[in-house]
Structure 1
Amino acid sequence: MLRIADTRTGHLVEIPAAPRRLLRSCVHLPALGAGTDDGTGIGPLHLRVPLIGDVLARTAELNGLQVVTVLTTPELTPDRARALDRVMAVLGIHPPTVIGPHRPEAALGGPADVHVTTGDTDAGDLADGARIEVGRVDTTVPEQDAPAPADGVPDPLAVRLLLLGRPYGTPVTVTGAALAEARRTLIEWRRSVADWAQEASRPIPSGLLRQSHAALAEDLDVAAVLELLAEVAGRSDVPAGAKFETFAHLDRVLGLDLARDVGHQRPTGP
């Protein structure tokens, strides 16, 4: 069972309503501005909204549901549409079934079960279904003391990790230092996953599986799952093979490419 807190009522509601096994999700991209640094009008909030829609779809699929996702957008120039596609791809956001204008019922095959949106979405587009309202994203001028990546190559999935580290309705501030910390976490976790993969596979402890699935199913508490992974990484009572399976399994929702370095470890012997 997947439940989210409907922003309009504050109550947890089951989506989709039992016994249907198809989740119809409508993600509403905010209006694009002209003031972003890259000139595309695509800012951090425009990334966070489809990202939460992506996590919702991944969680629903983990719970055995089929998902149809429609992304509604303002009118986009061809350049902006291509830029949006590129940015979503590098952030690991699965392409929605349809990207198009308002009134998506035909593409969804019926009324939406849930809308992923911001506070300024036209209420006329939200007549049916529960509502997930995504918190704002603020940015700061990059700190002078924020370390640059050691290899000079930024990791877009560090942005994904940073945005997933807060409850979806909570505002997030993106800073250079926060991105650097997210990137360090990804490097550490990927290195650990690659090391654990060399050990015999072991099943995910049932308690960890229940705890992580319960967090995801109860209002998409991804932050709790990230905390759980940080805890598991340091536990001596969880075998390496079980740690690998736990990280690989939950990465189906997190989308952080945590197994990327498997098979590429550097030799540790003399």
Structure 2
Amino acid sequence: MPGERNQAVTTIIDGRTRHAVALPSARDRLLRMSVHLPVINGEPGPVHARILVVADVLLRTLEADGHQLIWACEVPDPSPERVRTLQTFMTALGVHSPASFTSSSGEVLDILGGPADVCVFGDGRHDAEPGVWVGVGRVDGTGAHGQCPAAGEDLLAIRLGLLSRPYHRPVTLTSSDVVEADRTLLRWRERVAHWACSPSKPVPQEVGRAAADALAADLGTPAVLDLLLRAEVADGVPEGAKFETFASLDRILGLELIREIGRLPLREAGLFRPD
């Protein structure tokens, strides 16, 4: 968690050994990450969404720990049209853009300035790659379309649904799961906008420590989301502290929980119109 991670060492279950390993601590240079997407037939799908979300949360976690990081996205046939489609898809998912898209492992080395420290995959076909191997589980289910958004569709509900499960395990995401995630996002955004009107209070120390520990232990985003659920209804936590908790953790989760700040009073008055 931002401000609570100075002593935390992020560990990941290496996809090759199935053992927990500490991620490199390269304070004197940029950490290097490569993200490998499988073949895209038409639009990006649920597997691509999950790989990109996991890579993005890992990037945000390492940056919150004081690292600087550069990453490249390796994808078959990175034509200009495909790259534009992926960029639209990533923006809708709240994923930060890579330094470059490429189809060549050699180009990845050139882009990153050396071998990757961390490699994120959706399958086991790249076990010859150097660095820590982050293996992302498959996605099944009728709700896991994960495609470029239609008008009015919020792919951050897909992101929330994926973050609520351990990233390395296979997941089934149903339409009901996505609808429930979307309702949770709407509720949280409205409450964060309401809490933002209260005097600011610090994030409770025990919440900050628990969030930092969960993220450092193999990107435990389900535990972080559980902390938010408990903080939401905690009677003893001031609203200003609830706001700071949600805003701070959202820098890692990337769910745009502060989106409605400044809009809620207009909506209640019937004056706000979505873009």
Task: Report the TM-score when normalising by structure 2.
Answer: 0.86
| Letter paired with 2:154 | D
Q: CA deviation at 1:153?
A: 3.3
In structure 1, distance between residues paired with 2:167 and 2:58:
11
Tell me which residue corresponds to 1:27.
35
Cα displacement string for residues 220-259 of structure 1 (whole angstroms, at most 9, x for unaligned residues): 1111100110011010111110110010001001110001
- Choose the corresponding residue for 1:107, options 100, 106, 111: 111
**Aligned positions of 1:1-270 closer than 5 A:** 1-17=9-25, 20=28, 22-33=30-41, 40-103=42-105, 104-124=108-128, 126=129, 128-140=130-142, 153-266=152-265
| Letter paired with 2:249 | L
What is the DSSP-based 3-state SS (H/G/I as helix, E as strand, rest coil) of the residue aligned with 1:266?
helix
What is the DSSP-based 3-state SS (H/G/I as helix, E as strand, rest coil) of the residue aligned with 2:167?
coil
In structure 1, distance between residues paired with 2:212 and 2:85:
34
CA contact (8 A) 2:143 2:173 kept: no
Unaligned runs of 5+ in 2: 1-8, 145-150, 270-275
In structure 1, distance between residues paired with 2:221 and 2:235:
24
- The 3 A distance-change label for structure 1 pair 187 and 217 is same
Q: CA deviation at 1:102?
A: 2.6
Cα displacement string for residues 85-104 of structure 1 (whole angstroms, at most 9, x for unaligned residues): 11111111000112112321
Cα displacement string for residues 106-158 of structure 1 (whole angstroms, at most 9, x for unaligned residues): 2112211111002243344x1x111110000113279xxxxxxxxx9322211
Tell me which residue corresponds to 2:5.
none
- Following TM superposition, where does structure 1 have runs of at least 4 consecutive aligned residues deviating by more than 6 angstroms? none
| Letter paired with 1:200 | P
What is the DSSP-based 3-state SS (H/G/I as helix, E as strand, rest coil) of the residue aligned with 1:27?
strand
CA contact (8 A) 1:28 1:121 kept: no
| Letter paired with 1:248 | A
Cα displacement string for residues 57-85 of structure 1 (whole angstroms, at most 9, x for unaligned residues): 00000111101111111113433222111
In structure 2, distance between residues paired with 1:17 and 1:139:
37
Tell me which residue corresponds to 1:149.
none
What is the DSSP-based 3-state SS (H/G/I as helix, E as strand, rest coil) of the residue aligned with 1:69?
strand
What is the DSSP-based 3-state SS (H/G/I as helix, E as strand, rest coil) of the residue aligned with 1:26?
strand
Using CA pairs under 8 Å that are at least 6 residues apart, name the structure with larger relative contact order, 1 or 2.
Answer: 2
What is the DSSP-based 3-state SS (H/G/I as helix, E as strand, rest coil) of the residue aligned with 2:188?
helix
- The 3 A distance-change label for structure 1 pair 247 and 129 is same
